Amino acid sequence: MSSLSIYGSGSLLQGGSPQGFSFPTGFFGVFPLNEVREVKVFRLQMEVESKDKTPREHKVENKKRVILHLKHGSLCFVLLSNIEFFHVSCFLLFCLILLAQCPALCEYLHSSVHDKENSPMMRAVLCAQVCKVYRFQAEDHRWLLVREQMSETPLSFSLPKLLLNMLIQEHTRRVQDVKELGDLSPQWEELRCDVISHCNHLIGCYQETLADLENHSASSSFKSSSSKSDCHLQFVPTNLHSQRMEVTSPDSVWYEIMTFGAPADHHQAFKQGGLKRLLMISFHPPLVSSFSSASYSQDESSRARELLANVAQLQPLIFGLAEELLSASLELNVTRLQQILDSLVQEVKTETGQFVHALKDELVKSALFAVYTECSAHCIYSSRAKSNAMLPNNSPSSQDGPTSARQHDAIQRNMEYDEEEWDTVWANVAKSLNCIVAMVNRLQGREERPQVLTPSDQQDTSSPSSLSVLSWQEQLLPLVVTLRDCVREAVGKARTAMTFVILHGAATASVALGTTQLIQRRHAVFSQALSAVVLGFLLKLYGGLDDVDFLQQLHRVGVLAEFEGLLSTYGDEVGMLEDMEVGVADLSGVTFTVIEAKTEQPDHLLPTLSGTWGTLVVKVPLPSETFASLPQELKEGHLIRLHPVFFNIGINQQQSLAERFGDSSLQERLNQQSCERLKAYCDALRDKLPEIGEALFHSGDQMLPDLLSSLDHCIENKKRKNVEVLWMAAMVCRKVNGIRLTSCKSAKDRTAMSVTLEQCVLLREQHTLSQQDFSTALDCMRRDGCRTENVKKNVGSRKFAFNRMLFFFVTYVQIFTLSWFSW
């Protein structure tokens, strides 16, 4: 359902000044918006006499009465379902009078249908829009036309489904990789079984979750706050909406905030804390912790698989060529023999050269070091355990020092020995090949000092029954055997090293991350944060397609994503905060790339995912015409980095208790770390884009260094409910074209107070909204704006759920008339 409301000021009808009116979109031809299914409430300034003498403020209880005159103003409510023809006529007349006296408003609303807000890209990622239009007066008596728009997004469900599919495929490949490793030692076989069991469990859970989402998302693009604990919806962000405000005075400017419930796993709850704490205390199985001395990336694991494939292909090929070499030595025709040998030697050189090159890969050497180190440590540990079992009276203090020293010396000797041995192994392959080539050249008379044959030897050579040909094979056979032995030894060591890399990589990406429940929690939290930040990136990209500097900033530096949290550091919200910290940090591995869309159909304009966990790539499709206008670097698929930061200030009564009697160090650490990351991003922007950096750092009313200094000062102050931290971070984010995201527990009440206050501050600071109208505008947005519709969608009522205690603690949000809250 989409709805449109208009609010204004000024005396348009005799008898008072209306605060606003609203009507169904599509009801009047000048206001054509799509997806209208329901009309809720109409407000207009008119009095209709009634024979019923019931006080006006009570007439709304009688559904046959259509007038409600509020005590605090001249607002009148008319319910369409009960309105009579006379009332409809009056309503239409009122609309015509308003449009006649405000042609700018008419033009604004009519043109909004044709602007880029209705482009295929916007229609693909936004749905179920609720729109409110206001008219406020600036200090210079200009009129500010303000459109507030709140929208759902199909990304709430489409991105979690894509992520689940990607995780299922990734774990399936991991299982296949470790299964293909062949026979392993008992220690490694046990680890392989753990990896397979771990991955199969996750695959089963994710397939079940994906099936539930497929059924649920067919009729919904929104997860309400009452469903935040549902097991099958844990990958879906809670109450995700885009909160946008357009200001026209006279140019059009958009301000955007993504609002969603803090990414957290409410199904598993927070009895033992959130992700940050659980990851610190998670238990690592001994088999996995024994591999802690080495760490391999996804790229290294992929290269290990390639090396294994190359070695497996080259080994039988070299053996086959060696056999053909021996067979060719039995040829009776020397000329033919020479041609065959020339061809075979060249092939042996080529294939063996590739083989030696593969063996010289640095990854093989480093993996062999790790294998020998772990084996030495394991042997020493086992030996020490046996000694301790035989000598139970020995004190640990008397043995730790010598044993530790012996262990270190043994490992060091093993590493040095392995390095020399491996260099010798792969060098022997090349040497044995050179020996074969030299022998063939000598036997064919191609050596630098050819052997002079006697007349009897020449006679023997021309004889079919001669033994010279047989002597060629006898001389080549030992060299071929040596080559095969060297190749076999090198292949065995290389296979051991690459098996270690693959198995270790699989264990690090699965078993070593913790239990399956912990991994599911991390993936679910990440999915929620990912959906919100991708929506923010898309809207930021769509709005900046004509900004050359912004596009240069994307591919040279990346985009900033500033998460604003309103969670307390007390009770369950500590666990939510710990979940959100890890989820936001995991976003640092996400990159974006722009691709050309196949068509302009909505399904073809939705983003897709590729890559693996930790190296996720979000592919953003654009229509062909739009894609062609991008800088060449973006069209070539240059990756756009994401730089997430997370600032949190608890603002409810629980935070007051935490600051007085509890611990808020988690919040202080988060804000300090995010401030440093924000400074690093701004420095990178200045260094890589000097022209843009110069404008940001040394021009404007509020220069970036001053804002960063103020933010740093606010964080160091450690003031209670220091909301200036959030304001300063938001100002820096907008200054550098970043993505703004705001969260509280479920993005209803505290988030509504935050975004409405931010909108009014933007009107005052950027568009000179008069100070006396600031409170009026704030009251209007909170009473009649989009966030009341958000509350109703979640809980069925348009009242914000603040209790009396919170009302006294949350002073900065300027909470308006108490009757609009549910106590």
CA angle, corner 771, sides to 770 and 775, nearest 5? 110
Q: How far is CA 590 from CA 350, 580, 593, 672, in A?
A: 41, 16, 10, 23
Nearest Cα to 280, choosing from 525, 511, 578, 563? Answer: 578
Nearest Cα to 527, choosing from 481, 590, 597, 480? Answer: 590
643 CB-near residues (< 8 Å, 6+ apart): 558, 559, 560, 561, 588, 677, 681
Nearest Cα to 425, choosing from 499, 365, 371? Answer: 365
Catalytic residue among 199, 486, 733, 744: 744
Q: How far is CA 266 from CA 52, 597, 637, 705, in A?
A: 52, 37, 37, 39
Q: Residue type at 483?
A: L
Q: Are 243 and 755 in contact (CB under 8 A)?
A: yes
Using DSSP's 3-state secondary structure scheme, residue 254 falls into: strand
What is the rounded distance in angstroms from the CA atom of residue 464 to the CA atom of residue 484? 31
Sign of CA dihedral 205, 206, 207, 212: positive
Structure tokens at 592: 């974006």
Q: Residue type at 235?
A: F
Nearest Cα to 287, choosing from 218, 370, 188? Answer: 188
Nearest Cα to 624, choosing from 611, 638, 605? Answer: 605
- Is residue 102 part of the annotated active site? The answer reads no
What is the rounded distance in angstroms from the CA atom of residue 721 to the CA atom of residue 567? 11
Q: Are 135 and 143 in contact (CB under 8 A)?
A: yes
Tell me how crowded residue 620 is: count the other CB atoms within 10 A of its CB.
22
Whose tokens are 């409405």? That residue is 756
**Alpha helices (runs of H) in 547-664, residue ranges in sequence order:** 548-556, 572-586, 624-628, 632-635, 653-661
What is the rounded distance in angstroms from the CA atom of residue 217 to the CA atom of residue 154? 9
What is the rounded distance in angstroms from the CA atom of residue 271 to the CA atom of residue 575? 8
Q: Are 733 and 740 in contact (CB under 8 A)?
A: yes
User: What positions carry a catalytic annotation?
Assistant: 744
